[in-house]
Amino acid sequence: MKTAILVFPGTNREHDMAAAVRSISGSDPMMVWHAETQIPDADLIILPGGFSYGDYLRSGAIAARSPIVADLLDKAKQGVRILGVCNGFQILTETGILPGALMRNAGLHFICKEALLRVERQDTIFTSAYKKNQVMRCPVAHHDGNYFADDETLAMLEDDGRVLFRYCDANGEITKDANINGSRNNIAGIMNARGTILGMMPHPENLIEDLHGGLDGRGLFESLLEKVA
């Protein structure tokens, strides 16, 4: 399994992501600078978190106009697996690869804490190592994580089962209180219609070792990458 991690000016989670890929697959990912025009041959492309271009204009908006994005759009059409986390999710919505937008958190504050997520489906390439309705812990760190989509888009995402993660309480209930940032329908992560691209605000790469305080994020990478024997 070959993995490429895209890096933009202001990206800051690329090494966390590389460590997660290395820990679970045993091989080093390729790091690809945004000014390149070609993503090397890869089975998985990751857009990590951070503050590309200082979040100026809108989070991810300037990164979405980077030279590398033309090839990212091609690879998305070809069905290459793509994972966007946090700023990576914001870039995926700004390129139009995923629908909707990440708005300022409803409480207008940066949120840096551990959230609880309910895994909505098990039968996807991103979640096969989890159980359906499993409640997982996952760190979040963002100010623009408030997922918005219009009614029609939201209904389409729900009808097609494209919501993979929702903010929930300890019992797995989808409540208003558990909705840390005001996202519509408590959405924390969605995929494309074909099931090859996932965007999510929480950071599974930051909960994969005992030293992180838990292993709940590993399942996402184990689902996507071959397990180390």
Catalytic residues: 86, 203, 205
Looking up tokens 């996952």, which residue turns up? 138
# residues near ligand GLN by CB under 6 A: 12
Per-residue burial over 69-101, b if 16 or more Cβ lie within 10 Å, else e, is bebbeebbeeebbbbbbbbbbbbbbbbebbbbb
Q: What are phi and psi of 51, to 5 degrees?
A: -130, 65
Q: Which of 87, 179, 183, 186 binds ligand GLN (CB under 6 A)?
A: 87
Q: 41-80: which residues touch ligand GLN (CB under 6 A)? A: 49-51, 55, 59
Q: Which of 86, 117, 119, 190 binds ligand GLN (CB under 6 A)?
A: 86
Q: Residue 200 Cβ, how far from ligand GLN at the closest point, in Å?
A: 11
Q: Residue 26 Cβ, how far from ligand GLN at the closest point, in Å?
A: 26
Residue nearest to ligand GLN (CB): 49
Q: Which of 118, 121, 143, 218 binds ligand GLN (CB under 6 A)?
A: 143
Smallest Cα–Cα separation from 87: which of 7, 21, 29, 153? 7
142 binds ligand GLN (CB under 6 A): yes
130 binds ligand GLN (CB under 6 A): no
Nearer to ligand GLN by Cβ, of 121 and 207: the residue is 207
Smallest Cα–Cα separation from 89: which of 191, 3, 4? 191
Q: Which residues contact 226 (CB under 8 A, 6 or more apart)?
A: 1, 25
Nearer to ligand GLN by Cβ, of 13 and 118: the residue is 13
Q: Residue 62 Cβ, how far from ligand GLN at the closest point, in Å?
A: 12
The string of DSSP letters for 127-187 reads TTTSPTT-EEEEEEEES--EEE--HHHHHHHHHTT-EEEEE--TTS---TTT-TT--GGGE
Per DSSP, helices labelled H in the chain are 14-25, 68-78, 87-94, 151-159, 218-224
Q: Residue 11 Cβ, how far from ligand GLN at the closest point, in Å?
A: 8
The 3-state DSSP class for residue 110 equals coil
Nearer to ligand GLN by Cβ, of 109 and 132: the residue is 109
Q: Residue 85 Cβ, how far from ligand GLN at the closest point, in Å?
A: 7
Q: Which residues contact 184 (CB under 8 A, 6 or more apart)?
A: 147, 148, 149, 154
199 binds ligand GLN (CB under 6 A): no
The binding site for ligand GLN (CB under 6 A) comprises: 49-51, 55, 59, 86-87, 141-145
